[in-house]
Amino acid sequence: DQQVKQNSPSLSVQEGRISILNCDYTNSMFDYFLWYKKYPAEGPTFLISISSIKDKNEDGRFTVFLNKSAKHLSLHIVPSQPGDSAVYFCAASGRRDDKIIFGKGTRLHILP
Amino acid sequence: NAGVTQTPKFQVLKTGQSMTLQCAQDMNHEYMSWYRQDPGMGLRLIHYSVGAGITDQGEVPNGYNVSRSTTEDFPLRLLSAAPSQTSVYFCASSYSPGGQPQHFGDGTRLSIL
């Protein structure tokens, strides 16, 4: 039973436009949500996070939005750049659970 | 500052062989974990540890053993390799699991014939 779902396996976006990656979760006990970026043959690297007490967190070109009532979060990248082409993973954890659960990932292609 | 170091980077095993994947971190992180990445399956948690001497099972623990005798090291053991364990394995660490960014190694690509 998937607790963290990324329903779009891939996404193509024109360079300079906005990329929106989505993530849904089922466990209402999750308190922290993180996004990771992964290039081929490398380990994932941390991108941005948000705690359940906030509904938005921004870091440069990256913004994460959290809708707790819908159990949905999204990552916005604007403007999209060629180096953003990678696989993006959504991850979640709770204060009372030491497990960190990842989604299946979304492959983002930035088109020239 | 090396971060999280995984060895080996590549390994081919025959069914039934045993092997230990090594993971070491130099950031004095208490929390360490092992994931496997398979096509279309994302990153699935195998085992994790909240500190030396303490380990617990993740989502897919069967066929794997772990121990945590020191803060720095968290080896993953395959006692009798099976083709279903062909995967890319990632080790990660952080100060704590709660909301802290995980630092990942570059992975071990393991093939079981």
Task: Compare CB distances from B48 to A46, A49, A99 and report the shortest one's residue.
Answer: A99
| CB-based contacts of B21, cutoff 8 Å, min separation 6 | B6, B7, B8, B11, B34, B75, B76, B77, B78, B89, B91, B108, B110
Q: pLDDT of chain B along its 113 residues, tens only? A: 679 999 999 999 999 999 999 999 999 999 999 999 998 888 999 999 999 999 999 999 999 999 999 999 999 999 999 999 999 999 999 988 777 888 999 999 999 99
pLDDT tens, position by position, A5-46? 999 999 999 999 999 999 999 999 899 999 999 999 899 999
Q: Read off the pLDDT of each residue in A61-83 and give the average, rounded to a whole number.
A: 97
Task: Compare CB distances from A98 to B41, B44, B48 and report the shortest one's residue.
Answer: B48
- What residues pair up with A45 in beta bridges, in sequence order? A37
Task: Compare CB distances from A95 to B41, B98, B106 and report the shortest one's residue.
Answer: B98
The DSSP 8-state label assigned to residue A54 in this structure reads -
Contact status of A35 with chain B (Cβ, < 8 Å): no
Return mean pLDDT, chain A.
94
pLDDT for A34: 94
The DSSP 8-state label assigned to residue A42 in this structure reads S
Contact status of A99 with chain B (Cβ, < 8 Å): yes
pLDDT for B1: 61
Q: Which chain A residue shows the shortest CA-CA distance from B99?
A: A32
pLDDT for A110: 98
Q: How many CB pairs under 8 A join A and B?
A: 71
